Amino acid sequence: RKEVEQDPGPFNVPEGATVAFNCTYSNSASQSFFWYRQDCRKEPKLLMSVYSSGNEDGRFTAQLNRASQYISLLIRDSKLSDSATYLCVVKDDYKLSFGAGTTVTVRA
């Protein structure tokens, strides 16, 4: 079983739409969670940390459900520039485990 599993998508949405997707993780003792973004042929970049109480960063909202071991990301008012692969990441000690990514394409 993979440490982090994500729905690969793709999610194809119009500009202005809301899109949401989840990932699940296998290690119930994991403490820290993140979403990274990876544009085509580019390196991953940290999008946001995920806190137990949920958190927002502009149009992005992240939620953590420890009981069910899943993490979600919601993007409101999608922009063309949001088109990317979103990587769910779990940190154990210093090591990051990445999901395979969820691809989002925002169309005009």
Residues that bind other proteins (CB under 8 A): 4, 8, 32, 34, 42-46, 49, 87, 89, 91, 93-101
What are the DSSP E strand ranges found in 39-101? 44-50, 55-57, 60-65, 70-75, 84-92, 95-98
Which of 76/91 has CB closer to other proteins?
A: 91
| Least CB distance to other proteins at residue 63 (A) | 17
| Least CB distance to other proteins at residue 78 (A) | 22
What is the rounded CA–CA span in Å between residue 64 and residue 77?
21
| Least CB distance to other proteins at residue 53 (A) | 17
